[in-house]
Chains A and B, each alone.
Chain A
Amino acid sequence: MAESKELQVKEKHEVAGPAEQTRPGAVFTPEVDIFENDRQINLLADMPGVAPGDVKIDLDDGLLTISGEVKPFEGKDESDVLIEFEIGRYYRQFTLSEVVDQGKIEAKLEDGVLRLTLPKAEKAIPRQITVTAG
């Protein structure tokens, strides 16, 4: 890689989705990388502050939903001095173009980055239909 650039602060984006959130608190869209090769689709999502047990992944008819819960970690006696980022849940939905083998989805959360591996399903084998005269 060439000379790496300086990272810039990016404002966290609040979810403005079609589904109204029913619980109080801010909800943010995680930043993602999505890439595929011939065999699988991979998704990486930045979800800092989310513990491995607090991620929910749901795939329903090609609609992939990722949500992550951030447990409050501030002590009760702490008072704010400078607040530059807000803390809240993460939520994002994707529609998948390829047929995914739902039974083989793997998810791993490491250092606040979720890695989803979605293997593509075996394509239906094309069948040759022979017409018999009768």
Chain B
Amino acid sequence: MYARRLFDFPSMGWQYPFNGLERMSRQMDRLTQAVMGRPGMHWLTARVFPAVNLTEDKDKYYVRAELPGIKADALNIQVDGRNLAISGERTIPSEGENIRYHRKEREAGKFSRVIGLPGDIDASHVKAKMVNGMLMVTIDKSEASKPKQITVN
């Protein structure tokens, strides 16, 4: 199918011989994405709750996790060396006696996770907040692990 596409495609001319290939590569990416999620990231994904997103800029690390229905005081966040530990419990209160469930997809339970950060951090500058069920932890990088600009003379 792809081969047919490649040769039939009108934009496939001599001027841009790799146009078709690029398109094919994107299609392959989409295919892998459909089969196993994000391409290339599959093996890195830890199957421990909660799923986190870790991003960085030049001064800080940002750790975000989706924790709907969890109050800030039900969370326990600790920093130890390069590790950030998040633990807590999600409780779903009883909704009364005479109720009948149609669907019950939300789950309650305990969780505990450690996230290893890629560089040294300043443990005294860690802030965490909950906004609309989303946990956001901001961690300052230590002075040593911040990128330095080197001027060339």
Contact = CB atoms under 8 A, between A and B. Distances in A.
Interface in A44-71: 44, 46-52
Interface size class of B (residues with CB under 8 A): 35 or more
A4 B51 contact: no
Given A32-B106, A112-B133, A113-B133, A80 B99 contact: no
Interface string B4-44: 00000000000000000000000000000000011001001
Contacts of A1: 91, 108
B104 A33 contact: yes
A52 to B, nearest CB: 8
Contacts of A112: 66-69, 132-134
Contact of B99 (A8, A35, A86, A109): A35
Contacts of A37: 96, 98-100
Contact of B51 (A38, A78, A84): A84
Interface in A1-18: 1, 4-9, 11
Contact of B45 (A5, A8, A77, A84): A84
B148 interface: no
Contacts of A49: 66, 132-134
